[in-house]
Chains A and B, each alone.
Chain A
Amino acid sequence: MSALLIHAVKKSYGNLVALDGVSLQVEQGEFFGLLGPNGAGKTTLISSMAGLCTPDSGTIEVMGHDVQKDFRMARRQLGVVPQELVFDPFFTVRETLTFQSGYFGLNKNDDWIDEIMANLDLTNKANANMRSLSGGMKRRVLVAQALVHRPPVIILDEPTAGVDVELRQSLWQFISRLNQAGHTIVLTTHYLEEAESLCGRIAMLKQGRVVALDTTQNLLAKHRPPGMPPKLLGDDGAADLEAVFVKIMAESK
């Protein structure tokens, strides 16, 4: 059983085609990258997986559960870190996580909530109101909220946008440990060096279509742009992901 099975998904908003027949398969335990320029359809695809939007056609399964027909089990298996920095100003960090856990029916989940907070350096902010937190701290809470129900599949939609080096390091350490424990990770990011170092496989989207899908190693090896200046070459002689990304985007129509 695949962690994610996306088949011929189409979604339009009026005349704008956001997803144009996207098909993907992500296996359990993978660290998968979903890359593309702004407006490529990454967030629409994530929203479709999470049930935040309904595709016009096609199907999506999370751990074998259809996100429309069996939405409760599908959502139970999925943790999503949204791109926007959103929070509920009425509550503290601990209350936010406890309520989020409760929405998934997990009412005695304090041990795991404590562990998430410790791993994301949130313990000393547990009783602070969400309004009083810095942007970086709010981002940590967003990540923690996605993990409260221990989902086997975790989607991170640009989780490091605008955050400091310290958070990035602690976040990637924790996410890598979750991946080592068997959690499937899907990452979208504009920091391509992060995708290059973390993701085993990468899909590139452009104008709602998958224009490249391969292992990170193969992408780097196959798409080395001819005459690439040495500063854009990695230590192994292959082009780095940024150069590959630019080349693939330029070549695909």
Chain B
Amino acid sequence: MEQVKPLISVNALPEARIQSGFPALFRKEVRRFYSVAFQTVGAPILTAVLYLLIFGHVLANSPKIYGYEYASFLIPGLVMMSILQNAFANTSSSLIQSKITGNLVFVLLAPLSHIEFFAAYVGAAMIRGLSVGFGVFMVTIWFAKIPFAAPIWIFIFALLGSALLGSMGLIAGIWADKFDQLAASQNFIIMPATMLSGVFYSIHSLPAFWLTVSHFNPFFYMIDGFRYGFFGDSDVSPYHSLLVLLICMSLVSWLALSMLKKGYKLRH
């Protein structure tokens, strides 16, 4: 008969210590999108390439912007748009799926602080956004000449933009109770705000009214600052864009952290 190994007595176990659960939650969130990378990374890259092929072809004879062909102007905008949309999609879809299927309970039962929770979800969203952005860039770079006037701004805006949208996705994922509520926030807020942020045009080509409206769209500053890193030229100063981005990031992070700390819609 098989011998049953005796279990270690509770009193003989090492004393419980609090060690951070952040690395495991971060790895899990990265593995989650990586395990379906065809859908989470491959598909958005294809979408961006289609945008480039269609708009690049239709508007090939447009006047030069910042001294470059339209396709050159378009590519950085498409890269940033992909970063932002996918960072948002990662946190929001992960949370709503976990909430609806109920497996979020495993994270809620663990001794994770609200800061670890926030950092892990937003960190993974940044990885996905940046991976898609890098993929879009590597595929589209062959279609036009792209300068690198001030690369540090490219990194700053890519990192901060993905963090901001990851945080916004976290808020949307916490707030939404159903998939259609989340889809509404994605289709009626995030999508129009990114599409109307100057991805496809310089806002100086807009009528005065829409030019003013564009200045109230925080996505415009992310796209414009990111584009500055490539062309060394932009619709507004990159410092101005950075300030807007930092203010938005502070407000959104504060809201997301407050919701997590309170357990809003996560703990009863």
Contact = CB atoms under 8 A, between A and B. Distances in A.
Interface of A: 13, 28-29, 47, 50-54, 71-78, 80, 82, 84, 86-91, 95, 98-107, 115, 145, 150, 152, 177-178, 180-183
Given A50-B109, A73-B16, A84 B102 contact: yes
Contact of B111 (A54, A71, A90, A145): A71
Interface stretch (B19-27, B79-87, B171-179, B250-258): B19-27
B204 interface: no
B187 interface: no
Contacts of A76: 16-18, 111
Contacts of A90: 31-32, 35-36
B111 A104 contact: yes
B103 interface: yes
Given A72-B18, A103-B21, A105-B111, 4 more contacts: A29-B10, A90-B32, A102-B27, A150-B13
A87 B103 contact: yes
Contacts of B6: 177, 181
B108 interface: yes
Given A52-B268, A76-B16, A76-B111, A103 B10 contact: no
A47 B105 CA distance: 10
B106 A103 contact: yes
B111 A106 contact: no
Interface of B: 4-11, 13, 16-21, 23-25, 27-28, 31-32, 35-36, 98, 101-103, 105-113, 263, 267-268
A71 B27 CA distance: 23
Given A52-B108, A54-B267, A90-B35, A101 B24 contact: yes
Given A52-B268, A150-B13, A75 B8 contact: no
Nearest to B102: A86
Contacts of B32: 90
Which interface residue of A73, A152, A181 has the most chain B CB atoms within 10 A? A181
Contacts of A102: 21, 23-25, 27-28
